[in-house]
Amino acid sequence: MSRGKSEAVYDQLKAQIQSLQLPPGAKLSEVLIGEQVGASRTPVREAIRRLAREGLVDFRPGEIAQVASISLSRVRALFEFRMVLEPAAARMVTLDGIARPELLEPFRRIAVELGEVAAILDTASREELVARFYELTERFDQSVIAACHNEPLAMTIADQRGQTARLRGISHADPGRLSRSLDEHQRMCEAILSGDPDAAARELSYHLTESLRTIINGLTSSIAGTGSLEIDIRPSA
C-alpha cells in the first residue's frame, strides 16, 4: 500500500467532512471513493479507518462506512473529554514557559493578532473576520499541542481536532459568539504569557464551557425544526 496515497485520501475526506461537504450520515463507499480519487480500495479503507479512530466516521467491518452523526450526546461527550485534556495541557505549557520563554513566542504573536482582529470588529466584513479568527484559533490550538511536553496528551488532543472543526458553523451561528470567543482567546493568551497556570486552565475551561453551551443551543434550535437528533447541519448558502 502506498502510504502517500492513503494520506492523500485521508486529507481529502477529512477536509470534506470538516467543511460539511460530506454531511453527517453520508455513505462512504470504498469503491466510489477510489474511483473519484484514483486509488485502490486498500488506501481508501485505511483512510476511513483512521477517520473512524478520530470519531469522524462510523465504521463496522462488512458494512459501508458513513460520516458520523452530530447529536447532543456526541457533542457533550466530546466537550467533556476536551475539558479534561486541554486545561491540563494549557497548565503544562504555562509552567514550561516560565523556564523556557521561547515556548511562548507563538502565543505572543497570536495575542497581538487577536488584538488586531478586535480592532476591526465593527468595520470588517463578517467573512473577513471569520476567516482571520478561525486561522488564529487554529494556530492557538496547534501551539498548545506543539508546546505540550506530554506526547500522549498532545496526540490525543490533536485527534479530537477534526470533530471540533465541523462544529464551528454551529458555534458561530450566534452573531455575538465570535466577539465573545475572541475575548476568551485573548484572556487565555494573557494567562499563559503571564505565567499563571491556574488562570490558563480556568480560562480554557470557561471557553470550552461557553462553546458547548452555544453549540447545544444551536443544535436544540435545529432539532426543534427537524424533530431529529441526527441532523444535517450543512451551512446555508
Q: Which three cell numbers stand for residue 38?
A: 484514483
Q: How many domains does the chain have?
A: 2
Question: In CATH, what number is assigned to the domain containing residue 88?
Answer: 1.20.120.530
Residue 34 CA to residue 209 CA, distance in Å, equals: 40
> Poorest-confidence range of 56-65, 82-91, 142-151?
56-65
pLDDT tens column, 114-147: 999 999 999 989 889 988 999 999 999 999 999 9
Pair 62, 78 in one domain: no
Selected residue with higher pLDDT from 140 and 218:
140
Residue 51 CA to residue 195 CA, distance in Å, equals: 36
Residue 126 CA to residue 129 CA, distance in Å, equals: 5
What's the pLDDT band for 186 if we cut at 50, 70, 90?
A: very high
Pair 47, 122 in one domain: no
Q: 45 near 6, Cβ under 8 Å?
A: no
Residue 121 CA to residue 194 CA, distance in Å, equals: 26
Pair 90, 178 in one domain: yes
Question: In CATH, what number is assigned to the domain containing residue 52?
Answer: 1.10.10.10
Q: Which domain holds residue 161?
A: 72-226
